[in-house]
Amino acid sequence: MITVTDAYRFLSSMKTGLVLLGLIGLASAAGSVIMPDSFFRTGLFKLLLMLLLLNMALCTCNRLAGYLKRSGRSGTKSRLRFRELGILLLHAGIVLVLIGGAVYAGYGQTGMISLAEGETAAISDYLKTDNPFTLRLDKFTIEFNPDGSPSQYYSYVSILDGGKETEYRIGVNSPLQYEGIKAYQQSFGYLIEAEGSGVNGERVSRTLREGEMIDVPGTERKVKAYRYIPNFDPRYGMNSKTLRPDNPKIIYSVYEKGHLLGVGAASPGESVVIADGCAVHFRDVRMYTVLKVKSDPGLSLAAAGGLMLMAGVVITVFLSPANRKRRTITANGGPAGPGAGNGGNAAVPGS
């Protein structure tokens, strides 16, 4: 019969921790391939994480009890106390990192927001939050290098919160942080303003994303805005030579009853005749930004755990009196080998 003591020893043993680490590593490798977007939120991964957390917490409690017991003895060497303190901080740091990961797995949230200039988005529509606010995109810009390659992407936004308006600039590696929520510059895209006109003066206006269609009034034809290319060069095919709009073109295709009739390229502001008396006017092209919003309540715990872990490494490896003595002997020209701790009087064969 398994007793409580047996269960405690099993759950707090180093072997159990190593096995759990191995299982988590194997499961993560397999899950990243099979279910890359959702594996780390599955019940299996959370169970393994909680078991490892329990193992490390119990192991840390054992270490703490032993450290306090030995610290109360007057004969305990200081180097042992330093070593025990470093190992204790290592364990405690790992526990905090695991707790932070568990909190994120259970309560962390992620959402994607697409905004064109002037548009707003309520954060509560994407994340559950106790402090809802509204995000408005004022401007999206791309800065370019002399060769036309992008150097930085910026989203200039305003936070609307209870009558208060605050401006921020979000860039790559420069996220917005507000009320426990972060917004990262994730991506961007293009919006094509198109208008279809018919023989009898009918007009249809639409804002198209790449791949969307607009009807041509008075006909059964549709025009797809296949792709916007900022710097069109036939040698590059459907890829833009650079992102800088040096030669912007809209690649479009014409369909009738689902059959492709033709493909063409038009500049922003240009009208294209689709049938007798019918045309599509590509009025303008605007950019929109894609922001990744995250809520990570376990981040502070994980950060604190990381600091404790590093402190444990420093104390164990660099601040231990034994290690300091060994480095001092080496610096003075003596060997840091066997017998170095006995005042340098190592035994010599035959002496």
Give the tens place of pLDDT for each residue, 123-151.
Answer: 999 998 888 999 999 999 999 999 999 99
Choose among 52, 53, 86: nearest CA to 67.
86
Domain regions of the chain by residue span? 4-108+298-334, 109-187, 190-287
Spans in the chain with pLDDT lower than 50: 337-351
Q: What is the pTM of this model?
A: 0.70
Number of H helices, E strands in the chain: 6, 14
Distance, CA of 335 to CA of 340 (rounded, Å) = 7
Structure-block tokens of residue 217: 């009034």
Q: How far is CA 123 from CA 75, 111, 159, 161, 207, in A?
A: 60, 9, 10, 11, 24
Is residue 278 within 8 A of residue 218, CB to CB? The reply is yes
**What is the structure's pLDDT at 182?**
93
**What is the structure's pLDDT at 315?**
84
Please identify which residue in the block is written with the tokens 């650079």: 242
From its phi and psi, is residue 330 left (phi > 0), alpha (psi between -120 and 50) or beta? Answer: alpha
Q: What is the DSSP letter of 3?
A: -
By three-state DSSP, how is residue 199 classified?
coil
Is residue 329 within 8 A of residue 336, CB to CB? The reply is yes
Cβ-based neighbour number of residue 207 at 10 Å:
15
**What is the structure's pLDDT at 126?**
94
- Helix ranges, the chain (H): 4-12, 14-34, 43-71, 78-107, 299-317, 321-331
Nearby residues of 79 by Cβ (< 8 Å), 6 or more positions away: 320, 321, 322
**What is the structure's pLDDT at 330?**
53
Cα radius of gyration (the chain)? 32
By three-state DSSP, how is residue 1 classified?
coil
Distance, CA of 213 to CA of 253 (rounded, Å) = 9
**Residue 42 is which amino acid?**
T
Angle at 300 between CA 294 and CA 301, to 5 degrees: 120
Angle at 22 between CA 17 and CA 24, to 5 degrees: 95
Choose among 4, 14, 18, 20: nearest CA to 62.
14
Choose among 242, 215, 212: nearest CA to 224.
212
